[in-house]
Structure 1
Amino acid sequence: MELRDIEIFLALAEELHFGRTAERLHITQARVSQAIAKQERRIGAALFERTSRRVALTPLGERLRDDLKAGYERIREGLESARETARGVRGSLRLGIFGSNAHDLAPATRRFRERYPACGLSFHEVRFTDPFGPLRAGDIDLQTCWLPVREPDLTVGPVVMAGPLSLMVSDSHPLAGRERVCLEDLADCALPAIPEPAPSYWVGALEPFHTPSGRPIPRGPLVTTFQEVEGFVLSDDLAAVVHADGPRYYQRPGIEYLPIEDAPVGRWALIWRTTAETELVRAYVQSAEDVLDELPRDALTPSRPAGGAPRRAGANPRASSGATRVASS
């Protein structure tokens, strides 16, 4: 069985749909049908049950899928490793992260280290007060960042984390104890003031300046770190809109996280300077994309598509198999 035929079989075993399989592999539906028919002729038995409404694996097909999958992944990783070695991936990658991002990126980081054990990798914290400064200064090579990013000199890569936004309040705040809030409720709160050089469009994507009806949302004290945000929240001077990593990693006594039911999904992507794209940057991005491609199609936040292929700021990301994080959110 040829490697391409194995790839087609495994993709169809996952998708259980000839059209989606063809689209995923960028081939025709006829090519998928021909490959499966050829495999079934060689084996002498059906691998799939086909009706007008559904496609399902036969017991023999399930066994073949299980037998082939692990070996195929090892072959693919070996070929990718050989390609990267031939292209000369070497050196040390400096990865910028916000807060707890390293936890969510751990599967991608492990994949990168497995493929390029001779390459170094270091982590550097990025502050939300200057989200693009270290990248532009050349202090880091690649970083995470919440979207949108509309910087003409930066490339926006795959969405690696996504999840619902929440309102962080103290347990004595007037909104505390509610099951959920909406964006209109933010007009009755004071949100953190984040100083320049953080762009206002980027801050406003997380901490809006107006409610959907146009009511202004007050700004409270100036903050420069998440710890300062927590302090002001606990003193009832602020409420704060936070990403999904807030309730996941920062459960604190006296703090509650209230889901914002009509807020957009918060997304994080890998970004880098367009003119400083290196083999190391591409290697880490590819490792992250490969991890994402192995996750279920609906692993990203419910009913919302996600970005995938590297793109310039302002471009529309492609649909991807994605994940709430490189693991889950």
Structure 2
Amino acid sequence: MELRHLRYFVAVAEELHFARAAERLHMAQQPLSFQIKQLEEELGVTLFRRTTRRVELTDAGRALLTEVYAALAHLRQGVETARRVERGETGSLVIGYASMALYNLVPPAVHLFRERFPDVQVTLRELCSPDLEEQLLEGAFDVGLAIQGMHDPELIYETVLREQATVAIPKNHPLGRQAQIPLRALASEPFVMYERTQRSLIHNQIMAMCREAGFSPNVVQEAASEQAVIGLVAAGVGVSLVSACMSGLRTDEVAYRPLIDPETSVEYAVVWKRENSSPFVKAFLNIARDVSQHAGPGSKK
């Protein structure tokens, strides 16, 4: 039994007239009669009572018609679902993100994506480089919001936001009198750093910057999260280098000043597998671009 047989059956059942049903189906009456007869033989039931004056559905025919209506409706729904998936309107999207992106891109981008695509199930996973890239390659999620630094040839990176690196210092620190702070001014300061084992990319970048400025930072404490870093600065343990998006945290206890000499940017990138052509990934990339246009102070496209 083929789908066309069911459509032929529905047309005859609704018209109760083979000639009108054939006209509706844009075919000759004789082939239609043959197809219905073939369907009855395949099913082993009589679907229609035929006389010279009228055509009627049998009880078996009425029962089948009810089920065929349901099946065709389900099929139409399936086709529409497939089309919506193709357009990026329904399905699922798993997003991996660097925790620092929680302070700028993640909240507005996810909110806007859910608003535009309410039927897409969004799942979020927090990861750090290089784990983010490694799991993306393994297919653990569809798209990432990463701190730029790695360049795997199997992945595509598009930088959507650049934020100025900022010096976080205790509120009453003498350096707070300066509008901007050169990196070499921190040479004698105790540093609060991200844990090397947890945030190796950022940790190594900061260490390299300090060496290029002519000193090795005096790291007195390491912390695993952004909140912990800022909390330790607030407690007077030391100073730290953070992205500008964090300059709204604990402002009653921490002062933030732009880093200069060198003026350094933290780059946030949308990253996905080169072979991934999902419309959801493209839609999320476009939204991340839009959101970056309205990012806060210290940021630029």
- State if a TM-score over 0.5 links the two structures: yes
Supply the distance in 2 between the matched residues of 1:144 and 1:86 (Cα, whole angstroms): 22
Would you say 1:324 and 2:300 are equivalent positions? Answer: yes
Supply the distance in 2 between the matched residues of 1:86 and 1:126 (Cα, whole angstroms): 27
Supply the distance in 1 between the matched residues of 2:235 and 2:300 (Cα, whole angstroms): 32
Would you say 1:124 and 2:107 are equivalent positions? Answer: no
Q: Using a 3 Å threshold, how does the CA distance of structure 1 residues 179 and 277 change in structure 2: closer, same or farther?
A: same
Q: Would the aligned equivalents of 2:157 and 2:270 in 1 still touch at CA under 8 Å?
A: yes
Correspondence for 1:270: 270
Q: Would the aligned equivalents of 2:229 and 2:240 in 1 still touch at CA under 8 Å?
A: yes
Would you say 1:245 and 2:221 are equivalent positions? Answer: no
Q: Which runs of 5+ in 1 are unaligned?
A: 1-83, 303-322
AA aligned to 2:186 is L
Map 1:14-33 to 2 at 5 A: none
AA aligned to 2:279 is E
SS of the aligned residue for 2:260 comes to: coil
Query: Once superposed, what is the RMSD of the aligned Cα atoms?
Result: 3.7
Correspondence for 1:175: 175
Q: Using a 3 Å threshold, how does the CA distance of structure 1 residues 197 and 103 change in structure 2: closer, same or farther?
A: closer
Of all paired residues, the percent bearing the same amino acid is 19
AA aligned to 1:155 is I
Q: Using a 3 Å threshold, how does the CA distance of structure 1 residues 273 and 102 change in structure 2: closer, same or farther?
A: farther
Map 1:135-174 to 2 at 5 A: 135-136=136-137, 138-157=139-158, 159-174=159-174
Q: Deviations over 1:152-172 (max 9, x none)?
A: 443212x22222211111124
Runs of 4+ aligned structure 1 residues displaced above 6 Å come to 299-302
User: Per-residue deviation at 1:185?
Assistant: 1.7
Correspondence for 2:21: none
User: Per-residue deviation at 1:130?
Assistant: 5.0
Q: Would the aligned equivalents of 2:195 and 2:222 in 1 still touch at CA under 8 Å?
A: yes
Supply the distance in 2 between the matched residues of 1:256 and 1:102 (Cα, whole angstroms): 17
Q: Would the aligned equivalents of 1:194 and 1:222 in 2 still touch at CA under 8 Å?
A: yes
SS of the aligned residue for 1:205 comes to: helix
AA aligned to 1:253 is D
Q: Would the aligned equivalents of 1:209 and 1:216 in 2 still touch at CA under 8 Å?
A: no
Q: Would the aligned equivalents of 1:95 and 1:121 in 2 still touch at CA under 8 Å?
A: yes
SS of the aligned residue for 2:96 comes to: strand
Map 1:1-329 to 2 at 5 A: 85=84, 87=86, 89=88, 90-97=90-97, 98-99=99-100, 101=102, 103-106=104-107, 108-127=109-128, 131-132=132-133, 134-136=135-137, 138-157=139-158, 159-189=159-189, 190-196=191-197, 198-200=199-201, 202-206=202-206, 208-247=208-247, 249-262=248-261, 263-274=263-274, 278-289=278-289, 291=290, 324=300
Q: Using a 3 Å threshold, how does the CA distance of structure 1 residues 208 and 233 change in structure 2: closer, same or farther?
A: farther
Which structure has the larger Rg over C-alpha atoms? 2
Supply the distance in 2 between the matched residues of 1:205 and 1:162 (Cα, whole angstroms): 16
Q: Would the aligned equivalents of 1:206 and 1:242 in 2 still touch at CA under 8 Å?
A: no
Q: Would the aligned equivalents of 1:129 and 1:197 in 2 still touch at CA under 8 Å?
A: no
Q: Would the aligned equivalents of 1:149 and 1:156 in 2 still touch at CA under 8 Å?
A: no
AA aligned to 1:215 is F
Supply the distance in 2 between the matched residues of 1:100 and 1:177 (Cα, whole angstroms): 29
Q: Paired residues, what number?
A: 217
Supply the distance in 1 between the matched residues of 2:252 and 2:297 (Cα, whole angstroms): 28
Q: Would the aligned equivalents of 1:193 and 1:219 in 2 still touch at CA under 8 Å?
A: no
Q: Flag the structure with higher helix content.
A: 2
AA aligned to 1:87 is E
Q: Deviations over 1:97-149 (max 9, x none)?
A: 32453653555445533543321113333347955455455443222122222
Q: Would the aligned equivalents of 2:165 and 2:264 in 1 still touch at CA under 8 Å?
A: yes
User: Per-residue deviation at 1:268?
Assistant: 1.0
Correspondence for 2:48: none
TM-score normalized by the length of structure 1: 0.54
Tell which deviates more after alignment, 85-94 or 219-228: 85-94
